[in-house]
Amino acid sequence: MESEKIVAEIRKAFLNVTLNGGLTIHQADLEGAFTDPGVKLEARKKDLESFWWEIPDWKIEKYHSAISFLDRNGFRFYMPAVMTWVLRNGKKTTSITAYCFINSLLPGYCPVINPVLILTKIQASTVYSFLKFVETYYSHSNAKNALISYWDKFCH
């Protein structure tokens, strides 16, 4: 199955990616609601995953809007987990996670996400493969827009 081939590509390209001090999904979910650093530190304790593949599906589904509020390191950490989740669940879920994530890949949509600064060429090429699959098999119009406006340059 082609989606599992892309999942394997994601795993390989993002194998060594860690959070590296970035915002966690629970912290990003609080963005704009709390300025108290203590609240954000408490929220961080809810995200104990050391590796992106340990992130449970329920977090990806529930905190879909937090994706847009992650910092660079946080986005890079959650990115492979969300792509994998979309490939495995995109057709059988009512969650808007795929929509939120793919929108975040549109140039200018999420200012902290500049792929040139946070991704290797292999990782960017993997994002291209992901978007191409989603555009082809899920008919997601913003996947096509993201490809045309930026990600096509990473076609392998």
Q: Which residue has the tokens 């994998």?
A: 84
The per-residue pLDDT for 65 is 86
Q: What number of H helices and E strands is found in the chain?
A: 9, 0
The answer to whether the CB of 98 falls within 8 A of the CB of 49 is no
Contacts of 117 (CB under 8 A, 6+ apart): 72
First-residue to last-residue Cα distance in the chain = 19
How high is the mean pLDDT in each 10-residue block of the chain (156 residues)?
92 96 91 70 88 95 89 94 92 82 82 73 94 85 87 84
What type of residue is 99? Answer: Y
The per-residue pLDDT for 103 is 87
Q: How far apart are CA 30 and CA 148, in angstroms?
A: 32
**Per the confidence metrics, is the pTM higher than 0.85?**
yes
The answer to whether the CB of 31 falls within 8 A of the CB of 63 is no
The per-residue pLDDT for 82 is 95
Tally of CB atoms within 10 A around 3: 17
Q: Which residue has the tokens 């995200």?
A: 47
How far does Cα 9 stand from its chain's mean position?
15
The per-residue pLDDT for 113 is 66
Structure letter (DSSP) for residue 50: S
Structure letter (DSSP) for residue 126: H
Q: What residues does each domain of the chain span?
A: 2-154
The per-residue pLDDT for 1 is 65
How far does Cα 89 stand from its chain's mean position?
14
